[in-house]
Amino acid sequence: MATPQEAIETALTPTSPSTSPQSLPLHHRVAIVTGSSRGIGRQIALHLTQLGARLVINYSSDNSAPADSLAAEINAAAAAAASLPRAIVVRADISDPTQVKVLFDSAERDFNSPVHILVNSAGTLDSKYPTIADTSIESFDRVFAVNATGAFLCSREAANRLKRGGGGRIILFSSSQVAALRPGFGAYTAAKAAVEAMTKILAKELKGTGITVNCVAPGPIATELFFGGRTEEQVKKIIDESPLGRLGETKDVAPLVGFLASDAGEWVNGQIIRINGGYV
């Protein structure tokens, strides 16, 4: 039997040509990753696939190309290894309960399996970074619809449909802004604070199911969402505030999610994990 340290190392180690698929920590498990056509979600999808998971790649925009490209990349690698298709693409707006249900229905139908893992990485913010006094009701509602309502709807569906008895994982996304409390992020931070509260409560409500619930809260990560609306000077200021002197990268976040999704992460439950290089 592997020691705890060996289990952690296995959970964080991607597959290689010499790795048996059956030895991968997420072998044959089904994972839904919302917002996975780009940014942090895309890197998470790739990492979970390397750990053996079968992926539902979710997007909500009119442009399916990034999601289709990612699925093709994953499935090409699976074909080379003589395994079944490992990724499907499902368009769904996570702020719509009907579409969230379709997301889970598609996963169960296409993989002929219950869903094991939900990673809710979809998110949005107002790139004008308005103060609370200047935040329009339309902006507030849009930010809450995706970040808070979306997390609630995905969590509710997962709580009722994830595999019981071991291996069930709900991994939500917040932000280190909840700890930083910076001006210009009023609606966004409030929505993410709601996600953190739901994480802790849901972990307790799922007692006895074997399903864990955790929340990953990144700091500044070099993605399209981060750079939107920011000047070069503003980006430099944020980098200067980091003890490590750089922005985070998507590859800094994905291994943490992989660990939480694996059996090695089972004893981590009901936690908010801030991953920001010391930014907060």
Residues annotated as part of the active site: 188
Q: Which two tokens stand for residue 157?
A: 């569906």
CA dist., res. 148 & res. 142, Å (int): 10
CA dist., res. 227 & res. 222, Å (int): 7
**Strands annotated E in 27-105:** 30-34, 54-59, 87-91
DSSP H helical ranges for 114-185:
137-144, 150-161, 177-180
Sequence-distant (6+) residues with CB within 8 A of 148 are: 191, 192, 194, 195
Q: Are 42 and 69 in contact (CB under 8 A)?
A: no
Comparing CA positions, the residue from 200, 123, 213 lying closest to residue 162 is 213
Comparing CA positions, the residue from 242, 229, 238 lying closest to residue 279 is 242
Q: Are 114 and 30 in contact (CB under 8 A)?
A: yes
CA dist., res. 220 & res. 218, Å (int): 7
Residue reference for tokens 């509260």 = 197
- For residue 255, which phi and psi values (nearest 5 degrees)? -65, -35
Amino acid letter, 163: K
